[in-house]
């Protein structure tokens, strides 16, 4: 099997491309949205799928492995041949196709030219379970409550105990410091200034650490 072809673009059609690979020209059926991204004379890489029949030799090219996988998967659906499978791939990118299958959206498939209501129903029925394996559904985003809980601050506490204010001269504020004999003295353990007065932590005022 030819997995992919990479070469110079020699010809562009509405839904076809001719690639020159080592002096050999390959004509591929390619979705029109992919054709629109190619330019004559430039290098291109297309993921391919080869179909052989008694009277036809067809080579299909796709921009991504996912598009090719979608095409091959559609071929397994009863009464869906290469033409219908190619039309579905050309009309619906894999992400949109998978979303339509999960929603059971018949209108998205029925809107594709050449796909009738019965064929659309058959595609939904046949592929509803296989799509889950092909493209597993993403986990839903976290709710607002879950997002808020992720950022809720918490204070670490030793098991079986509560936080206590440290004892000693550091459990002081500007009000208590005025009564000490070493106030305004060089022996004071920390400098005294108006900026230090009125601090809440260690002054008997209730804080989050006291609860």
CATH code of residue 87: 1.10.150.20
Same domain, 80 and 41: no
Same domain, 94 and 44: no
More confident residue, 169 or 85: 85
Q: What angle do CA 187, 192, 198 make, to 5 degrees?
A: 140
φ, ψ dihedrals at 9, nearest 5°: -75, 115
**Is pLDDT above 60 for 185?**
no
CATH of the domain at 11: 2.40.50.140
Rg (CA), the chain: 36
- Cα–Cα distance for residue pair 70/52, rounded to 1 Å: 19
Q: State the pTM of this model.
A: 0.61
Same domain, 28 and 78: no
Q: Residues 169-186: what's their mean pLDDT?
A: 48
Are β-strands 4-12 and 43-52 bridged in parallel, bridged antiparallel, or unpaired? antiparallel
Q: Are 108 and 100 in contact (CB under 8 A)?
A: yes
Residue 72's SS3 state is helix
Query: Percent of the chain having pLDDT more than 70?
Result: 62
Let me know if residue 187 belongs to a domain.
no
User: What pLDDT shows up at residue 131?
Assistant: 73
Same domain, 26 and 46: yes
DSSP letter assigned to residue 209: G
Q: How does residue 150 score in pLDDT terms, banded at 50, 70 and 90?
A: low
Q: Are 86 and 60 in contact (CB under 8 A)?
A: yes
């Amino acid at each position: 099997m030819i997995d992919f072809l990479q070469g110079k673009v020699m010809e562009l059609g509405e839904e076809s491309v001719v690639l020159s690979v080592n002096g050999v020209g390959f004509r591929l059926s390619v979705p029109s949205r992919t054709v629109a991204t190619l330019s004559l004379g430039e290098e291109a890489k297309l993921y391919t799928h080869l179909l052989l029949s008694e009277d036809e030799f067809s080579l299909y090219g796709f921009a991504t492995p996912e598009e090719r996988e979608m095409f091959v998967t559609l071929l397994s659906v009863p009464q869906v041949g290469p033409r219908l499978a190619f039309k579905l791939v050309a009309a619906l990118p894999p992400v949109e196709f998978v979303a339509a299958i999960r929603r059971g959206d018949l209108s998205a498939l029925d809107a594709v030219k050449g796909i009738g209501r019965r064929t659309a129903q058959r595609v939904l029925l046949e592929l509803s379970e296989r799509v889950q394996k092909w493209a597993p559904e993403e986990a839903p985003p976290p709710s607002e409550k879950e997002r808020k809980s992720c950022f809720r601050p918490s204070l670490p506490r030793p098991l079986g105990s509560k936080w206590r204010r440290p004892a000693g001269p550091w459990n002081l504020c500007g009000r208590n410091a005025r009564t000490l004999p070493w106030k305004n003295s060089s022996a004071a353990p920390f400098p005294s200034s108006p900026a230090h007065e009125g601090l809440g932590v260690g002054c008997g005022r209730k804080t989050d650490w006291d609860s």
